[in-house]
Amino acid sequence: MNYFKRSPIPYRIILATALVMATLFLLQAYMHHYVYAEIKDLGEFNWWREAPVPYLNFLFWALLCPLAYIVYTRWPLNVRPVWQHVGMHLLFGLIIASIHEISTSGIYYYILNRIGDFPWNAEYRAFALNALPPAILQRFMEYWTLLAVLIAVDYARQTREKQTQLLKLRNELQISQLNALKKQLQPHFLFNTLNTVSALMDTNVNGARKVLSRLGQLLRASLDKDQRDIVPLAREIELIGNYLGIESVRFQDRLHVTYDIPHELSEAQVPSMVLQPLVENAIKHGLDATSDRVDINVRAEERDGTLALMVTDNGKGCSDVSMAMEHGGIGLRNVRDRIQLLYGPEATFSISSPGGKGFNVGLSFPLRMAPDPRSNGSILPVNARSTAHPLP
């Protein structure tokens, strides 16, 4: 990577700031000389003697700014053990300050020598050496000032990125909700559900009521304005349980759904509506694509501090999963992108179709439990393993 790009501030802004600051310091020196010239008998203002000082100082710091940021990213001050990182900054700060002062002083004395103000004799060399330690200390203090500015700018940049990610996640959640609502309000799905209710009215009134209740809960969840980005796993299972419960009545013996959800994971925090696209994929490539019986399994596991969620089916499947994801699979891609935004490299997403038969979709991310667990008696399922045929 280009050295001058290793900074949270664009280098053109660093360079422009250095020039502006140097000019302001030079003007300050000139104004001081102008005001006190007669009182202190300062004589004429020597531009060749005064101008190089601020410009050499600020421009050299502009040159060293990416190096200071590289040191900071290598040893950040917000990571334990802090004292070790502070020690490294003390060491590198002293080295950088020494490089700065020795280089700029050498250039400055060379300029003075060229204009006849600094002869290279023993007296002047001793003066230069004696002036070096306090000047290095001053540059060392300037290093910490520069480091504080870089830390503040980097923190502001990270805050903006997090806000951008949060807005993107909320947008993705809204898209998921709209997609789910679109799926549930599709004439095909809605009419089939109503036909199921109509058929049950003559033979099983209670069953018809349950189907209507599940349909109402699906629509209510999709239209909920207070829907959170993160919800307990139990609530997510309840949502897909309503959806699959209706489908299980429609397809009768052709659909068999099982859940393997440990009770202790019911309050695990998951992205809202993260499982809905997975079960919809199983229905689309299972029951809608074959006349055979389709088995769908929804499973959750804890694996060394991570939560793994899996939805598998034995439907039609696909011979080229990557091609199918590229040209379709909008819901699955949405799930993959959402968990990557939420959890970064700690999240994983996988999809396969072994032998072109059925789909295995899995995702995992850090396991986080709700701070205030609350039970919900309507949640499905409650045991380690249960079969989802709640409707007669």
Which residue pairs from 103-106 have beta carbons closer than 8 angstroms and sit at least 24 positions apart in sequence? 103/60, 104/56, 104/57, 104/60, 105/131, 105/132, 105/135
The CA distances from residue 358 to 9, 210, 247, 276, in Å, are 50, 30, 18, 17
How much is the pLDDT for 364?
Answer: 95
**Which stretch, 32-36, 81-85, 176-180, 234-238, has highest mean pLDDT?**
234-238
Tens of pLDDT, residues 342-377? 888 899 999 988 887 888 999 999 999 876 544 443
Q: Binning pLDDT at 50, 70 and 90, where does residue 187 land?
A: low
Higher-pLDDT residue of 253 and 144 is: 144
Contact of 365 with 343, CB cutoff 8 Å = yes
Residue 328: what pLDDT? 61
Which residues partner with 299 through β-bridges?
A: 260, 310
Domains of the chain: 3-163 (no CATH), 186-387 (3.30.565.10)
Q: What is the pLDDT of residues 193-204, one digit of tens each?
A: 777 788 778 777
Q: Per-residue pLDDT tens for 60-78?
A: 999 999 999 999 888 888 7
Tell me the pLDDT band of 144, cut-offs 50, 70 and 90. Answer: very high
Give the global pTM.
0.51
Helix axes 52-74, 82-114, angle to 10 degrees: 160
Do 362 and 308 form a contact (C-beta atoms < 8 A)? Answer: yes
Reply yes or no on whether the pLDDT at 35 is more than 70: yes
Who wins on pLDDT, 242 or 17?
Answer: 17
Q: Please state the φ and ψ torsions of residue 289, each to the nearest 5 degrees.
A: -115, -5
Residue 145 parent element (H or E): helix 122-185
CB 85 within 8 A of CB 73: no
Gap between the Cα atoms of 281 and 180, Å rounded: 12
Question: Which whole number is the average pLDDT over 94-109?
Answer: 92
- Structure confidence at residue 183 (pLDDT): 56
